[in-house]
Chains A and B, each alone.
Chain A
Amino acid sequence: MQDQALADVRVLDLTHYISGPYCTKLLADYGADVLKVERPKSGDGSRRMGPFPKDEPDPEKSGLFLHLNTNKKSFTLDLKSADAKDIVLRLVETVDIVVESFRPGTMESLGIGYEALKSAKPDIVLTSVSNFGQTGPYRDYMLTDAMAYGMGGEMYSTGIADREPVKLGENVVLYQAGAVASVATMGALFASRLQAIGQHVDVSIMETQVGSIDRRMSMLLAYQYNGEITRRTSASVGFGYPTGVFLCANGYIQINGGGNYFQRVVNMMDNPPELDDPTWYEPESQFNSDLADIFKAYFIPWCLERTKSEIWQAAQEAGVLTGTLNTIEELIEDQHFIQREAFADVEHPKAGRLMQPGRPFIMSESPWSIRSPAPLLGQHTDEILTSLGYHADEVARLHKEGVV
């Protein structure tokens, strides 16, 4: 097998739920050796979240956990026990990076805050992923994915005018926070390896939305420029027509055909004579709601007479920006993704053989790979303790006392 990009990187993973584990999954899937600390007996909370096969809860079969923890090793440790601090600090000496997602202040109260880690290893990278960051008035507040999008992202302008704002698909913004944390962590790893500088990286889930390219930064800037608030409108307002989601014979299609692209839409429709008049092609016509209505009267039936894939293909031939709206089933069964082997087939000792999301990107020299499925709870505890120099009788004592 080819050498993986991060094969020389070792990570102590003190994260749980989604954002932190997604950050360490990215590191692990590209080669890092990730030691995940879990609470004895119960483990990471995502083990209880599902989905589960046949909806029967089992901490070793949670779909969310299996997805987020590929290639990691599981080490159970009661961080509040007397032995924990020593074990963690001995582990820290062997790693490059620590990632944690406790409530701010927890690491300090456990005696393993940044200063303690730094004493054990001066060039250590500590990445803290938290709701609102390590400082500031909201530091100790609770957060949900809806709140992260509402406070940080562009939820305010997502939805229609006379209704409530509406959020994204469940947990999407939490994954984004994890991905941002992976970038910041890699940046800190460069400073650590090249300049021997350790540091504390502070990732606020809210701020990963404020600084998001998904409209938020641009809309904040537009407010700076002109004091204009971006409110909820339908997709078609302000972009010309046809823009938005249209019903077709067997589902929906999303089209951005306004402005400069209007001529291409007309080509896609095989140039109907009704759209010959030059008035259609004056730039201002794109914001004329009467013309928009007349156009829709041609366009809606045109869509209804065709399947979504027929429209998609016609649109691509004409150079119109489009996409079909698919279910997960349609995605998984789509020939394009199958041909590209976009998904992974993972064998797990308890959950069996399952299709899982595959690589986010392909590296030609140092590939993504699933070396091992998500770990069983505590699967690597003894192995890790032994590697730290603990003798069999000490390991037995730690088990007996419920430390590990």
Chain B
Amino acid sequence: MPKLPLEGVRILDMTVVWAGTYCATLLADLGAEVIRIESIQKMQPITRGSMAHPSKASIEGLQPFVGGMPGREPGKRPWNRYPLFNAHGRNKLSMTVDLLRPDGMDIFKKLVKISDGFVENNVTETMDKLGISYEMLKEHRPEIIMLRMPAYGNSGPYKNYRSLGVHMEGVIGHTLLRGYLDLGPSVSTNVYGADAAGGVQGAFAVLAALHYRNRTGKGQLIELAQAENMVPYLGQFFMDYAMNGRNSSTRGNRHSAAIQGCYQCQGDDRWVNITIATNEQWKAFCRVAQMEGTAEDEKFVSPESRYSHHDEIDSLISTWTANQDHYEIMKILQLVGVAAGPVMDQRDALSDPHLLERGMFEEASQEDVGTHMYTGAPYKMSETPIKIRRGPVQVGQDNEYVYKTLLQTSDDEYTRLEQEGHIGMDYGDHVP
């Protein structure tokens, strides 16, 4: 049986919220031993919940992904029951230490000595205050790879600006390039494409650096400014400005050349995306929708003439889709070569025959939430299959392994560190 690609690589993980944690997930998926360094003295906002001990009432009004702990109950350890964290918490380890105390920092340094990588995505000044820098890590482990993922970079006027992904996307232009055609950005939904981009390209960066280290023996510092990192995703808009000085704005659900929209279907809040580009596709669509007469209408004979009657075509399409099932539309249109697919809510996705056949969801357990289906790796490998090897990690779940096995901490010392609040699996009542 082959080993996983990153078996034997140890990564220290001080990531928060989403971009950094997703990077760590992707490295853990590939077999790296990713150790989250957490503190039971301070709750990092958003990462494992907005507070350590939320009341039932305080999570009631929250959206499911932040308030939807099992049974809508905070439970004994709410921080281990938070969907926003648990969704990416697979395959990782967790240890606790309070880095704000000198003996905590000594423990950290011992970990650095035996690790290959360190990843974090905090505001630049957070690491500065802790005294953690590439120079410091290198002193303890010369060949270490450090990945820093600040919002805007470790230099420049926005160096310490605090942001979630959604704010960075505003700054680099994505927010004005999405959203409804007929409504301003005020109704914009918070999306986190920058977190997805940062997480994935952060993992690629660490892999590239590990590859380089395997060849040369040298470690290095990687700086991934999350805002900059996503700019290539807007390439065509960037190039249009560079070439023509043109600023694009949102197209809503429309395409630049084909007929495209998201149309309402039969049932409660059901929708389908349809794209009709060529004359053949237009004819095929009209045949399926029993609108043969319309297919021949002169207004609609070419892609250009259809595009100039987009609104009219949208209403024809909607009239047909309104009485059809969103999955059925996909099946019958794909059969005749027209791109169509349902907008899947969460229930649809979890029972989708294609995703189930390909094993996208895997069962995993964790003591504080029980057993559920979790989303697995976003790709498949034939010889080193990537699986969920363990469920979402609990705070401090691997303290024994990290302290006793890796750091050779004596039982007495371990007990002292427990008593002093470094080691534990619970946030004290004093932690907000």
Contacts and interface: CB of A to CB of B under 8 A. Distances in A.
Given A156-B343, A217-B87, A229-B345, A199 B381 contact: yes
Given A144-B273, A214-B191, A214-B192, A224 B350 contact: yes
B239 A66 contact: yes
B155 A339 contact: yes
Contact of A357 (B222, B235, B334, B350): B235
B244 A51 contact: yes
Contacts of B72: 226
B231 A357 contact: yes
Contacts of B337: 142
Interface string A17-28: 000001001100
Interface stretch (B104-112, B165-173, B285-293, B399-407): B165-173
Given A190-B5, A256-B166, A336-B156, 6 more contacts: A26-B204, A156-B344, A200-B382, A211-B378, A245-B187, A360-B205
Contact of B243 (A63, A189, A223, A243): A63
A201 B237 contact: no
A228 interface: yes
A190 B262 CA distance: 42
Interface in A311-358: 312, 316, 319-332, 334-337, 339-340, 342-343, 351, 354-358
Interface string A238-266: 11000111110000111010011000000
Given A187-B207, A339-B155, A210 B360 contact: yes
Contact of A218 (B83, B223, B250): B83
Contacts of B355: 136, 207, 210
26 contacts: A51-B236, A141-B334, A170-B256, A172-B193, A175-B233, A176-B193, A179-B201, A182-B200, A188-B381, A202-B381, A211-B376, A212-B378, A223-B350, A229-B347, A230-B64, A239-B63, A244-B188, A245-B175, A252-B175, A322-B162, A322-B167, A325-B171, A340-B228, A360-B230, A363-B222, A365-B212
Nearest to B71: A226
Contacts of A136: 353-355, 357-358
A165 B343 contact: yes
A235 B235 contact: no
A334 B17 CA distance: 27
Contacts of A5: 208-209, 211-212
A221 interface: yes
Nearest to A230: B64
B341 interface: yes
Interface in B321-367: 330, 334, 337-347, 349-350, 352-355, 357-358, 360-361
A64 B234 CA distance: 10
A372 interface: no
A147 interface: yes
Interface string B126-156: 0000000010000000000000000011011
Contacts of B221: 363-364
Contacts of B165: 214
A191 B18 CA distance: 28
Interface residues of A, number: 163
Contacts of B379: 180-181, 183-184, 201-204, 207-208
Contacts of B272: 150
A281 interface: no
Contacts of B84: 218
A219 B306 CA distance: 37
Interface string A118-143: 00000000000000110111100111
Nearest to A140: B334
B173 A326 contact: yes
Nearest to A137: B354
Given A168-B193, A358-B231, A137 B357 contact: yes
B421 interface: no
A133 B358 contact: yes
A166 B178 contact: yes
A155 interface: yes
Given A132-B354, A245-B186, A328-B248, A339 B201 contact: no
A362 interface: yes
Residue among B190, B191, B234 with the highest chain A CB neighbour number at 10 A: B191
B195 A213 contact: yes
B237 A133 contact: no
A152 B199 CA distance: 18
A230 B63 contact: yes
B204 A179 contact: yes
A53 B244 contact: yes
Q: Sort A-B residue pairs by CB-CB distance and give the 7 closest, nearest first.
A: A323-B167, A63-B239, A211-B378, A287-B61, A222-B64, A361-B224, A238-B63
Contacts of B167: 254, 256, 321-323
Contacts of A71: none
A164 interface: yes
Contacts of B416: none
A233 to B, nearest CB: 8
B189 A238 contact: no
Contacts of B153: 336, 340
